[in-house]
């Protein structure tokens, strides 16, 4: 072995390997310091103490968008990829060295939640690339600013702060946000500005943005929302009717939420409240004029003055049009006459009536057609209990099934008429408050009693001689006297015995004695031959027979008949 004083070639190799930390030098995969020994074209020659020098592109020493500022003799840090390549040169990288150093620094700052400085230098799908002093990070498009930015060019190639949202060194992924920094800064500014504001304070601001629900007003570094309902006491369809972007608006601070740092503003609060004294201005029953401002399914809103609207409920819109949409009765902007029905100043509500400003058609009908009048109209509808007849004034009257015809059942009487048929009737009763008109058709038949009369002087239990007018299956249509009231004898009242209860044993024009059994709801009399027979029998027994005389019923009746003759 050669002495230390005279080292051989192999000794030099061994000492070099030892100084480099092993056979491969131990340099690979490490960041080391080197010296710039020369600059050839666009590359820098760097000596890091290896067997050979390495070359690194000058652009790796330049910041994004700038030229490299490098001179011979400068000391730089580089990353050793390989100690020796096929050409015998060291494979060095300035970018990798900067990236490794940057990752160490960024991990420490990320752990402490600190902001980092970077430069936006490129565009990629979904966002932008940011240089964080050697490490490349991704900036999503949604994290560029608080509000969407159409042109990012003014923000590129400028050092600015970012917040690291996520980083993964193994995969080389870093996600940053510029928006988070702006929001935090704005929150700090808002907090300071809010401390100088108080609820009720009047301040001027500039309208920055307008939405469907209101406008955002800049109060000098902090925005407040001017809701559409706080712009004016009168109805506003869109905020643009009151303010425009760039306008200077005088507003009052209505509410400050310290937790969310949101400020609610108002303009109408600076005006006098039109609802003050509304009850005195709009007494109940007052007839007013106003314009329809809005139509809904349940009614229409009518503006009585700027800032005061009343609701006409659908039930108060028309006397005769029921269950129709308000839009078929009134239209927007139409001027209408209304009556005040109710005022609630606390709830800021006024109930109005449209139909009350018009004459009640039932009252008008009652004046023109009193009870007993004859009317004519079209059958509008047939129900299971009667007919509805269309009358003057667009009102309907009802003929109950029992008032359609004499001598037949209500069901059969209903089948005699159809919808659309023109019929005549008598007015039986009018209730304007309940909006009801009762009609009768059978009262127009010959010999019918006068409506509201006394059935031609007949009284219950009275014995009268009647003339058969018509023979029906259900009984006899008869008339009392020569021109007396017509009435009916039911089949069961034609005689005491079943054989006598056959209508066909009677003939038209035949005269018979009967008792007034009662009156129907229209005061038409009902007669009974059976009741008359029983009454005669009872009288005969009382006059000519006794319980101990031994006389038979036939003998008694025979004697009574002889006496009558």
- Domain shared by 349 and 382, yes or no: no
* Mean pLDDT of all residues in 50-70: 70
In a domain, 164, yes or no: yes
Predicted confidence at residue 521, as pLDDT, reads 64
* Mean pLDDT of all residues in 383-390: 89
- Domain shared by 418 and 487, yes or no: no
Give the contacts of 93 (CB within 8 A, at least 6 positions apart). Answer: 56, 60, 78, 79, 81
SS3 label, residue 126: coil
Q: Tell me how far apart the alpha carbons of residues 265 and 99 are, in angstroms, rounded to a whole number.
A: 50
Q: Give the number of other CB atoms < 10 A from CB of residue 330.
A: 19
* Mean pLDDT of all residues in 7-36: 58
Look up tokens 């009193």; give the residue: 370
Predicted confidence at residue 64, as pLDDT, reads 63
Q: For residue 11, what is the enclosing H or E element?
A: helix 9-20
- Domain shared by 421 and 374, yes or no: yes
Q: Tell me how far apart the alpha carbons of residues 504 and 501 are, in angstroms, rounded to a whole number.
A: 9
In a domain, 449, yes or no: no
- Domain shared by 365 and 345, yes or no: no
With 70 as the cut, is the pLDDT of residue 328 above it? yes
Give the contacts of 151 (CB within 8 A, at least 6 positions apart). Answer: none
* Structure confidence by residue, pLDDT tens digits, 82-135: 666 655 566 676 667 777 777 888 888 888 888 899 999 999 999 999 988 778
SS3 label, residue 314: helix
With 70 as the cut, is the pLDDT of residue 446 above it? no
Token pair for 353: 């009536």
- Domain shared by 24 and 55, yes or no: yes
In a domain, 77, yes or no: yes
Give the contacts of 208 (CB within 8 A, at least 6 positions apart). Answer: 216, 217, 218, 223, 245
* Structure confidence by residue, pLDDT tens digits, 469-521: 888 888 998 888 776 778 889 999 998 888 888 999 999 889 999 998 887 76
The number of folded domains in the chain is 6
- Domain shared by 459 and 524, yes or no: yes
How confident is the prediction for the chain on average, in pLDDT?
81
Predicted confidence at residue 553, as pLDDT, reads 52
Q: Tell me how far apart the alpha carbons of residues 396 and 419 are, in angstroms, rounded to a whole number.
A: 14
Q: Tell me how far apart the alpha carbons of residues 492 and 528 are, in angstroms, rounded to a whole number.
A: 9
Q: How far is CA 225 from CA 231, 255, 261, 297, 549, in A?
A: 11, 10, 12, 31, 113
With 60 as the cut, is the pLDDT of residue 16 above it? no
Among the ranges given (21-30, 180-189, 256-265), the one the predictor scored with the smallest mean pLDDT: 21-30
Q: Tell me how far apart the alpha carbons of residues 16 and 23 are, in angstroms, rounded to a whole number.
A: 9
* Structure confidence by residue, pLDDT tens digits, 176-217: 999 998 888 877 777 767 777 888 888 888 998 889 899 998
Burial 198-208 (b: 16+ CB within 10 A, else e): eeeeebebebe
Q: For residue 35, what is the enclosing H or E element?
A: strand 31-40
Q: How far is CA 347 from CA 273, 278, 279, 354, in A?
A: 14, 12, 12, 22
pTM: 0.44
What confidence tier does 311 reach under pLDDT thresholds 50, 70, 90? very high
Among the ranges given (8-22, 36-50, 259-273, 369-383), the one the predictor scored with the smallest mean pLDDT: 8-22
End of a domain among 136, 152, 183?
183
Token pair for 117: 């400085």
- Domain shared by 398 and 465, yes or no: no
Closest CA to 120 of 87, 93, 144: 144
Q: Give the number of other CB atoms < 10 A from CB of residue 132.
A: 23
* Mean pLDDT of all residues in 530-543: 82
* Mean pLDDT of all residues in 16-39: 62
Predicted confidence at residue 557, as pLDDT, reads 54
What confidence tier does 544 reach under pLDDT thresholds 50, 70, 90? low
Rg (CA), the chain: 54
We report the CATH number of the domain holding residue 162 as 2.40.50.140
Name the residue range of residue 169's domain.
Answer: 113-183
Predicted confidence at residue 453, as pLDDT, reads 45
Residue 131 phi, psi dihedral angles, 5° rounding: -90, 115
End of a domain among 309, 329, 357?
357
Look up tokens 């006024």; give the residue: 350
Q: Tell me how far apart the alpha carbons of residues 556 and 232 are, in angstroms, rounded to a whole number.
A: 101
In a domain, 160, yes or no: yes
* Mean pLDDT of all residues in 550-565: 54
In a domain, 262, yes or no: yes
Q: Tell me how far apart the alpha carbons of residues 126 and 229 are, in angstroms, rounded to a whole number.
A: 39
Q: Tell me how far apart the alpha carbons of residues 371 and 438 are, in angstroms, rounded to a whole number.
A: 9
- Domain shared by 530 and 464, yes or no: yes
Q: Give the number of other CB atoms < 10 A from CB of residue 249.
A: 19
Region at 321 (left for phi over 0; alpha for psi -120 to 50; beta for the rest): beta
End of a domain among 183, 207, 225?
183
Q: Are 478 and 514 in contact (CB under 8 A)?
A: yes
How far from the centroid of its chain's Cα atoms is residue 83's Cα?
A: 76
- Domain shared by 210 and 238, yes or no: yes
Predicted confidence at residue 175, as pLDDT, reads 93
Q: Tell me how far apart the alpha carbons of residues 175 and 140 are, in angstroms, rounded to a whole number.
A: 8
- Domain shared by 85 and 127, yes or no: no
- Domain shared by 253 and 312, yes or no: no
In a domain, 277, yes or no: no
Predicted confidence at residue 554, as pLDDT, reads 54
CB-count burial class (<10 Å; 0-12, 13-18, 19+) for 22: exposed
Q: Tell me how far apart the alpha carbons of residues 292 and 296 are, in angstroms, rounded to a whole number.
A: 11
In a domain, 62, yes or no: yes
Predicted confidence at residue 9, as pLDDT, reads 53
* Structure confidence by residue, pLDDT tens digits, 216-227: 988 877 788 999
In a domain, 261, yes or no: yes
Q: Where are the beta strands (DSSP E) in 283-373?
A: 287-296, 299-305, 308-313, 335-344, 349-353
Closest CA to 309 of 267, 279, 351: 351
Q: Tell me how far apart the alpha carbons of residues 399 and 342 are, in angstroms, rounded to a whole number.
A: 37
- Domain shared by 244 and 257, yes or no: yes
Cα angle 36-38-41, degrees, rounded to a multiple of 5: 120
């Amino acid at each position: 072995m050669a002495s230390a004083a005279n080292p051989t070639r192999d000794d030099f190799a061994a000492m070099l390997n030892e100084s480099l930390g092993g056979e491969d030098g131990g340099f690979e995969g490490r960041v080391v310091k080197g010296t710039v020994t020369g600059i050839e074209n666009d590359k820098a020659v760097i000596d890091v103490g290896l067997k050979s020098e390495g070359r690194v592109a000058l652009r790796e020493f330049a910041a994004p968008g700038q030229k490299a500022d490098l001179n011979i003799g400068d000391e730089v840090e580089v990353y050793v990829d390989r100690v020796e390549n096929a050409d015998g040169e060291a494979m060095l990288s300035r970018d990798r060295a900067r990236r490794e150093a940057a990752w160490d620094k960024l991990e420490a700052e990320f752990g402490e939640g600190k902001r980092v400085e970077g430069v936006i230098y490129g565009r990629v799908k979904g966002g932008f690339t940011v240089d964080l002093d050697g490490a490349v990070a991704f900036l999503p498009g949604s994290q560029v600013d608080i509000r969407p930015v159409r042109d990012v060019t003014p923000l590129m190639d400028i050092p600015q702060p970012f917040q690291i949202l996520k980083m993964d060194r193994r995969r080389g992924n870093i996600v940053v946000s510029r928006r988070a920094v702006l929001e935090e800064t704005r929150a700090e500014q808002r907090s300071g500005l809010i401390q100088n504001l108080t609820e009720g304070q009047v301040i001027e601001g500039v309208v920055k943005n307008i939405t469907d629900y209101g406008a955002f007003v800049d109060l000098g570094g902090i925005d407040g929302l001017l809701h559409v309902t706080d712009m004016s006491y009168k109805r506003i369809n869109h905020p643009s009717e009151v303010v425009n972007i760039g306008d200077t608006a005088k507003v009052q601070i209505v509410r400050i939420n310290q937790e969310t740092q949101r400020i609610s503003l108002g303009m109408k609060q600076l005006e006098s409240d039109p609802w003050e004294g509304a009850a005195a201005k709009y007494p109940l029953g007052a007839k007013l004029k106003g314009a329809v401002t809005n139509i809904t399914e349940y009614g229409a809103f009518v503006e009585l003055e700027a800032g005061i609207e009343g609701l006409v409920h659908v039930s108060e819109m028309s006397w005769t049009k029921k269950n129709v949409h308000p839009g078929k009765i009134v239209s927007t902007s139409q001027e209408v006459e209304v009556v005040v029905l109710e005022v609630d100043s606390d709830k800021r509500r006024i109930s109005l009536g449209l139909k009350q400003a018009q004459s009640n058609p039932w009252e008008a009908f009652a004046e023109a057609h009193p009870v007993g009048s004859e009317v004519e109209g079209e059958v509008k509808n047939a129900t299971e209990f009667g007919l509805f007849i269309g009358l003057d004034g667009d009102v309907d009257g009802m003929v109950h099934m029992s008032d359609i015809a004499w001598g037949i059942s209500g069901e059969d009487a209903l089948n005699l008429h159809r919808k659309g048929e023109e019929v005549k009737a008598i007015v039986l009763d009018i209730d304007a408050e309940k909006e009801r008109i009762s009609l009768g058709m059978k009262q127009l038949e010959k010999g019918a009693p006068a409506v509201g009369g006394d059935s031609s002087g007949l009284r219950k239990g009275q014995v009268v001689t009647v003339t058969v007018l018509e023979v029906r299956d259900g009984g006899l249509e008869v008339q009392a006297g020569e021109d007396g009231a017509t009435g009916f004898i039911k089949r069961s009242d034609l005689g005491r015995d079943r054989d006598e209860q056959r209508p066909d044993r009677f003939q038209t024009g035949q005269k018979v004695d009967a008792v007034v059994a009662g009156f129907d709801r229209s005061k038409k009399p009902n007669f009974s031959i059976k009741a008359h027979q029983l009454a005669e029998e009872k009288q005969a027994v009382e006059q000519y027979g006794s319980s101990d005389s031994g006389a038979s019923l036939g003998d008694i009746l025979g004697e009574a008949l002889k006496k009558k003759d």
